[in-house]
Structure 1
Amino acid sequence: MVDNKYYGRGDKTNTPLSHEGVLRYHQRLLSDRADLKTDVATLLDDIDSAASLIGLIAEPIGLRDELLTELTEDHNWENHVSTILGQADTRAIGPHLPPYTRAGGYQRRAEGVAVTDGMPNETRQFNGDGKAAELVFHESGRLTLVSEKATYQHTRAVVPPPPATKVIFEELIVAKTEMLVHVAAEVAKWAGYQGSWRFALTVRGLKGGEASLFHEALRHSSGPQYTADTYTRETEATFLDIDSDPNAVVRPLVMPLLRSLNVHTHAQFGWLRTDPA
């Protein structure tokens, strides 16, 4: 809007638009968007529809489909990815937790390149042992991150042993979400893109699980069990938000899960609740 008038860019000139025309334009943009939650579900289904996995997608909004083609074409793409991940690491406040998605291995993927962990021999393997993760840089600019170990089985070394408890590794879920937000910021800088991004998080295999923070050390205390199998959230953010206030992007993606597990006020997540100075 300029001087209380809307303008749309035509072939050669800027054309005045009515209020209704602006609404139709934005409605068309919304209808043309992919459903990120559905895309994450499809991504996880393609790997293992029954596995307990963390899936994340970050996608630039309203952009051409070749944002990272220059990256995948470069014979030194591994070095560029390593630099991007290194910069993202320096900004991370939360803990680094395995399986890592940085400098473990470098592999090519369909229309993209990936950094992996727990995937030897140039193959995409999610074996269910909690050791695999991959972060893919797609030529379109989309980033996808999949990690095992969303949950694990906790046992006690006593006789007779009680039944194993399903534990949700909420710290890993938060750490991977924070990492992808930082990576998106660094990718945007590398590519010279200062537009907005969309983010989606889906975690599967949660039903009946309790927060890992209730099972630290030897306390073995019990927390509330998560009552759904799947957790999914989506949010949007400007480049300024991603770069200067990444916690404001991470919070809407993970805090509903942390509240459900009753760990949202735990000291371990104090950094997440703190806004930048």
Structure 2
Amino acid sequence: MTEPLLPVPLYLGPQLPRWQPATAADVQRAIDSGAITERHWLDVKLNTKTSTDGNNKEIAADLASFANDGGALIYGVSEDKAAKTFTIAPFDLSGQAERIDEVARSRCDPPLYVACHPLPASSDDCSQGLLLVEIPPSPSAPHMVDGRYYGRGDTTKRRLTDGEVARLHAVRTMRHLTAEQLIEREITRDPIPADGRDTSHVYVVARPLAAPPDLLTETIERRTLGTVVLGFHSRLGNHASPNWGHLSSQQPRAQGWGVHSHVLTGRRLNQNDKSAETAMVDLEIGDDGSLSLVCGRGSDYAGDSGQQYILDAVATLFTRGVVELAGQLGRDHGYGGRWLIAVGLTDLEGKHSAAAFRNMFGEGLVPFSADRYIEATEAVTSELLAQPGAVTRRLVRRLLRGLGTTGQSYGQLLTDPRPGG
């Protein structure tokens, strides 16, 4: 079982410090200080009630209402509405985190990521306590529960109007346009000019949306990031070539730090042949925590056929690594906010997945029907840490669908352990 993660410092509202409770006593101190009150970003409940259809629907609606802006629910707090006072009321935590997670995934449409944090009532008995449910802002908001969309008012959930739903969908569209601009920038910055590329190229970018501009400056100057990046090879394995083990060289860059394969120096190829293009991997890490990766082997020739195949395993492997690296950097440097992550591939039209070459009949596999693939999502640091597979799946699922493949040979890159597993 993995160690439970503390919640990211929670935003309770303007003029209030961020809050990171670890025990029921921390909640009691917040009550005593007046920080705990129902507001747009926080709600309290006495307990989760019994697992009936009606109660689970109510929980799902509560969770969905926070997904637009982010927030937290605390189960195990009694409220005297007349007196406007709160009292902690520890309850049996057995199975409750798993139940909330299941409700968020099965009763919200699309499924909603939440992070459950048991807050024990005492160090001697962890079975009784409070349950803090952290609901980060969702890249898929708004979320529907039984045909209705929910949001938060000042202190309670409410149904969203059609206009509010349309506005939220418009915001999602604008974020996708921003991601396309990020990918276009990386295509322009590619070490190989457009007229010199022979294969499909893979681009993965991650941008922290509210990090200070010097988030990683001290770490960059200590020159330790190359070691961090190399650690991903042992974790993610040899599902494709090139892989994270090929990022074996490092050097300072104008925008931060570079970690790259041997065919590059200063983000320029130091040899000019086909083998250099397919061995090219470059990861640039910015002072603000931004990540920009390019790989020259998004496709390659197979056998003597003269036909190129799309290496979806390469794209998935580097996407998963960037997702995990962003989460690790956020955790290690105290940034718990949103990340915008985007994936792009070029020169795809008419090419099959590499799985078609391995399958002599090519059954169920189709040529990709567009020249480029671009997909983006948002996630907060806690989701990147807890569910990197789910985030990776959001980013590559349309690619795999368009190729008619399920990615069976690298399926673990798209999955996560179940809570408590």
Q: Same fold (TM over 0.5)?
A: yes
Q: Which position in structure 1 is the counterpart of 2:178?
A: 35
In the alignment, is the contact (CA less than 8 A) between 1:87 and 1:186 conserved in 2? Answer: no
Question: Which residue pairs with 1:270 in the alignment?
Answer: 411
- TM-score, with structure 1 as normaliser: 0.78
In structure 2, the residue matched to 1:133 is: 281
Cα distance, 1:65–1:270 mapped onto 2, change above 3 Å:
same
Corresponding residue for 1:186? Answer: 328
Which of 254, 257, 268 is residue 110 of structure 1 equivalent to?
254
SS in 1 for 2:263: coil
> How far apart, in 1, do the equivalents of 2:317 and 2:298 lie?
11
Change (3 A) 1:262 1:239: same
Rounded to whole Å, the distance in 2 between the matches of 1:57 and 1:232 is 11
Amino acid at match of 1:177: T
Letter in 1 for 2:385: D
User: Is the 1:98–1:131 contact (alpha carbons within 8 Å) kept by the matching residues of 2?
Assistant: yes
What is the aligned residue count?
A: 248
Q: What residue is the counterpart of 2:291 in the other structure?
A: 143
2:187 to 37, 44, 49: 44
Distance 1:212 1:139, change over 3 A: same
Query: How do 1:94-109 and structure 2 match up within 5 A?
Result: 95=239, 97-98=241-242, 100=244, 103-109=247-253
Q: Name structure 1 gaps, 5 residues minimum.
A: 8-17, 157-162
CA distance in 1 between partners of 2:360 and 2:258 (Å): 38
Give the number of the structure with larger relative contact order, counting CA–CA contacts within 8 Å between residues 6 or more apart: 1
Amino acid at match of 2:258: A
- Structure 2 CA distance, aligned partners of 1:199 and 1:32? 10
Unpaired runs of at least 5, structure 2: 1-12, 14-36, 43-152, 155-163
**What is residue 367 of structure 2 aligned with on the other side?**
225
Distance, in Å, in 1 between the alignment partners of 2:325 and 2:232 is: 5
Is residue 58 of structure 1 aligned with residue 203 of structure 2? Answer: no
Q: State the Cα distance separating 1:5 from its structure 2 match.
A: 5.5
| Distance in 1, Cα, partners of 2:216 & 2:39 | 37
Aligned match of 1:13: none
What percentage of residue pairs aligned between the two structures are identical?
22
Task: For 1:107, give the aligned amino acid.
Answer: Q
1:67 corresponds to which residue? 215
Pick closer, same or farther for the CA change 1:88–1:99 going to 2, 3 Å: closer
Cα drift, residue 31 of structure 1: 8.1
The secondary structure found in structure 2 opposite 1:35 is: helix
> SS at the partner of 1:182?
helix
Query: How far off its partner does 1:84 sit?
Result: 1.8
Take 1:31 and 1:231, find their aligned partners in 2: how far apart are those partners? Answer: 17
**Cα 1:202/1:180, change in 2 over 3 Å:** same
**How does 1:194-233 map onto structure 2 within 5 Å?**
194-216=336-358, 219-222=359-362, 223-233=365-375
Q: CA shift at 1:221, angstroms?
A: 3.6
Asked if structure 2 preserves the Cα contact closer than 8 Å seen for 1:133 and 1:145, the reply is yes
SS in 1 for 2:376: strand
CA shift in 2, pair 1:120/1:58, >3 Å: closer
Q: Classify the secondary structure of the residue corresponding to 1:43.
A: helix
For residue 58 of structure 1, give the secondary structure of its aligned residue in structure 2.
Answer: strand
Mapped to 2, the partners of 1:153 and 1:196 lie a distance apart of 38
State the alpha-carbon separation in 2 of the partners of residues 33 and 226 from structure 1.
21
2:10 corresponds to: none
Match of 1:243, SS state, is helix
Q: Report the Cα distance in structure 1 between the residues aligned to 2:176 and 2:373, rounded to whole angstroms.
A: 22
Matching residue of 2:159: none
2:380 — aligned with what? 238
CA distance in 2, matches of 1:229, 1:137: 28
1:155–1:106 CA distance, 2 compared to 1 (3 A):
same
Aligned-partner SS, 1:253: helix
CA distance in 2, matches of 1:177, 1:229: 19
TM-score by length of 2: 0.53
Q: How far apart, CA to CA, are the structure 1 residues paired with 2:261 and 2:388?
A: 25
Give the letter aligned to residue 56 of structure 1: V
For residues 125-180 of structure 1, the C-alpha deviation after alignment (integer angstroms, 9 at most, x for no partner) is 28553111111111121010000111112243xxxxxx522200111010010111
Pairwise CA distance, 1:108: 2.1
Bigger radius of gyration, 1 or 2?
A: 2
> 2: CA distance between counterparts of 1:208 and 1:32?
29
In the alignment, residue 46 of structure 1 is paired with which amino acid? R
Q: One-letter code of the match for 1:118?
A: H
Q: Does structure 1 conserve the Cα–Cα contact (< 8 Å) formed by 2:317 and 2:413?
A: no
Counterpart residue identity of residue 249, structure 1: V
Cα shift readout 1:60-90 (whole Å, capped 9, x = no counterpart): 121221111112323xx1xx21332244345
Report the counterpart of residue 115 of structure 2 in structure 1.
none
Measured in 2, the distance between the counterparts of 1:263 and 1:83 equals 34
